[in-house]
Amino acid sequence: MPPTELLISAGEASGDMYAARLARALHDRADVRLFGMGGPQMREAGVETVVDSREVALVGLLEVLPKLPAIACAWRRLLAEAHRRRPPFAILTDFPGFHVRLARRLQRLGTQNIYFVCPQFWAWRPGRVRSVRRHFVRGLCIFPFEVKFYADAGVPVDWIGHPLVDFVRPALSRDQFIARYELDPATPIVTLLPGSRTSELAQNLPPIVEAASRLASSRPCQFVLALAPGLVKESVASHLRGSSFRIVESATYDALAAADVAIIASGTATVEAALIGAPMIVVYRVAAPTALIARRLVRAPFFAMVNLIAGRRIVPELIQEEFTAEKVSSEVQKLLDSAELRQQMRNDLTVVRERLGPPGAIERAADIVAGMLATNVVHARE
């Protein structure tokens, strides 16, 4: 028999990483051929990406407008391939604005949709969970508190734990990192993670660069800018204005482990920092019209994921108009000035790590999908 065709899709860097690992685990469990939308990590894992996720990657509500033609083109290519190959299952990774609508169309083809990394509808527009109930046969949650939200809405759901637990590990010690990048071991290190999309860099980097300038003028500091996967140095150069930053590639975990303090754009990177135990300031900014709309939609008490997981504010979060160079530099200064405050934050982050679940999230997800595939094959033969 030929391999079973499965559609697998991710629309941003973190989803590409999770879906790639799931793809490898599925290849170990079943005779499958995977196709869909993704990035470099999914391609390396053997997924035929008929759409490159960079074509649709975006952030914000109004920022989607210029990309509508590209999104429509990606949509048509994915659906055309699904129509041609008729996959029994589609594994859709987060990215709800695109994937919920895609699931509706795939369902009409007879494809059963699995939500791998369920979207955070509990934090914004909770009514959209009804779309998951209608168009998905299974949801896989990475945070424990999500299970009740989805189960109460009638979605068959499993908690798999967070995939990052398995592989967020620095490769270098602090001393090794300092030696490799020719840093001064006696000077505090501030690591900067401004985001993974060009739109995020445009919003987040200018105030971060100004905050770094303020800090450097008041005390000895050295700044390490860790590029997210898929970004190149040229993508940040225009924002740095000749500032003295050490730019590192493919070394995010090492840069976080070496940091005395990190300034991080809200998102997956904050969870990575929590797993490493890096004291952090969480920042984020979107275009003003998008922020105005978002305020009407967001229901969560916190913006930073680590605070949501902890159930209380354990790291400073400077969002939108609160995200100024003055406030960022002030919060960083407080942490640099107090070893006690940094240690208290590290202690609080251990609670976050514990709540992310045990290792093996990807393996558990793969077992669930492989089991569903096996059951589907048996039913098809009956």
E-only strand ranges, 96-203: 112-116, 138-141, 157-159, 189-193
Type and span of the H or E element at 197? none
| Spatial contact of 273 and 262, defined as CB atoms under 8 Å apart | yes
pLDDT confidence of residue 64: 58
pLDDT confidence of residue 15: 92
**CA atoms of 120 and 336, how far apart (whole Å):** 33
| Spatial contact of 270 and 282, defined as CB atoms under 8 Å apart | yes
Burial group, residue 46, by CB count within 10 angstroms (0-12, 13-18, 19+): middle
pLDDT confidence of residue 378: 47
pLDDT confidence of residue 291: 47
* Domains of the chain: residue spans and CATH: 4-161+360-381 (3.40.50.2000), 170-355 (3.40.50.2000)
pTM for the full predicted model: 0.88
Per-residue pLDDT of the chain (382 residues), as tens digits, is 789 999 999 998 889 999 999 999 999 999 999 999 999 999 999 999 999 998 886 645 445 566 678 888 888 999 999 999 999 999 999 999 899 999 999 999 999 999 999 998 876 677 889 999 999 999 999 998 899 999 999 999 999 999 999 999 999 999 999 999 999 999 999 999 999 888 888 899 999 999 999 999 999 999 999 998 778 888 787 788 656 899 999 999 999 999 999 999 998 999 999 999 999 999 998 755 454 445 555 555 677 999 989 989 999 999 998 999 999 999 999 999 999 999 999 999 999 999 999 999 999 999 999 999 999 854 554 4
Task: Using alpha carbons, select from 178, 56, 124, 105 the residue that is nearest to residue 308.
Answer: 124
